[in-house]
Amino acid sequence: MEEGQNGTANTNTTPVAVAKMKITELAIITVLYCLLVVTIITGNGLILTSFAINRKLRTVTNTFIISLSISDTLVGFVSIPCWIYIFLCQYTERPYTNVGYQFYITFDIFIGSASILQLTSISIERCHAIVRPLRHRTLSMRVFYAMIAIPWVYAAIMASLQPVQFERWTEVYTVLMTTTCFFIPFIIILVAYVTIYVYARARPTSMLTRHRMPKKAYKNEIRLSATVALITVLFVIAWLPLFVVSVMATYYPQNLPPSPLGIDRLLKFVKFCHYSNSALNPFVYAYRNKQMINTFRYIGYKLLCKEHSLQLPLMSTGTSFIKSTYQRKTWQGSSRNGNVPETNKQAENTVMISSV
C-alpha cells in the first residue's frame, strides 16, 4: 500500500530518481506538504475544540466524526512529517533507519485504514437513523461505542501485519488491504447512501407518520446524511489513486511510468491526494453545520479579542439550536444526544459553551 519498499538493510539511501529532481521542484513539493500539515492541524483542531466547548455538538453522529477527526489530526502530526523527512533524506542522500521507515509505513496504514472504516461506520449509522429512526433512538450507547472502536481495532491488526509481511507475502497483503480496507467499505458506503436516497424520496410521508418523526428533525437527518455522503465522495476521490497505484505496483509494475523520476512524482502525487482528504473533512463539516460555524466564530473571536473576555450567547436562529426544555429534551441534529441541565431561562435560548 505504501511507496516502494527498498530492502531490509539497516539504512536506506536515495534512489537515483529523487537525486535527479530539481531543487525548485522539491522545494515546491515540500512547501505544499507543509501547508497541508498546517491546514489539517488547524481545521481538525477547530473541530475537536468545538466538540469540547459546545456541549450541543456532542451527538452520536458527531462522536463518529470526532473519531475521524482524531485520525486526521494524527495524519498532520505524524504521518506527513515522517513522509517529508523520508523524501528529504532521500534527496540529500542522508541514511534513515529501516526501523523508522517501517514505523512510518505501519502508522500510515493504521491511520488510513481507521479513517476508511470509520466512514463505513458513519454510513451505517446514518442509514439506520433514516430508515429505522425509532429503533435508532432506542439503541444502547454501547452499540455506537462498539461501532467506533471496531475500526480502530481492525486497523491496528492490519497495521501490525505490515512488518510481518514485509517482503514475504506482499501480494497477499496487498489484496487483503485493498479488499477489506477499500473496496468492501466502499460497497457498504455506496449501498447505505443509495438506500438513504431511495428511502427519502420514495416514502418520506409514510415514514414520518409511522415513526412519528417531526418533519424538521427528519430534514435535519437528511441534511446530516448528505454532509457525510459528500465527505465519503471526497474520501474515495482522494484515496482511490493510492490503491490503484498499489495494486499496479504489486501485480502490473510494467504499467507504471518507465522512468524512476516519473514513479517518484506519481508516488508524491497519490500520497498528497490521500493526505489532503484529512484537510478537507473539517471544512465540509463547517460548511454544512451552522452550529459548528457559530462555534468556530466563537473560538476565533475569543482568540482575536481576548481583552473583551467574551461570554458569547449564540442565540437560537434555527432548528439546530435549543428553543425550549419543554419542546425538546435532546439536542437537534442527530438521532441521540447528551442531556445537559439548564439552570435558567436564558440558557434555554443559548448554545451552552463550557469553559475551556
Assigned C-alpha cell, 9: 538493510
Percent of the chain beyond pLDDT 90? Answer: 26
What lies within 8 Å, CB to CB, of 80 at 6+ separation is 33, 36, 37, 40, 275
Q: Label residue 319 by pLDDT band (50, 70, 90).
A: very low
Mean pLDDT for all residues in the chain: 76
Which H or E element spans position 342? none
Residue from 310, 326, 317 nearest 291 by CA: 317
Our measurement of the distance from residue 195's CA atom to the centroid of its chain's CA atoms, rounded to an integer in Å, reads 22
pTM of the model: 0.74
The mean per-residue pLDDT over the stretch 106-110 comes to 93
Residue from 307, 124, 340 nearest 232 by CA: 124
**pLDDT for the residue numbered 9:** 38
What lies within 8 Å, CB to CB, of 109 at 6+ separation is 1, 2, 155, 158, 159, 162, 177
Which H or E element spans position 97? strand 96-97
The mean per-residue pLDDT over the stretch 207-223 comes to 58
Q: Label residue 169 by pLDDT band (50, 70, 90).
A: confident
Q: Are 36 and 280 in contact (CB under 8 A)?
A: no
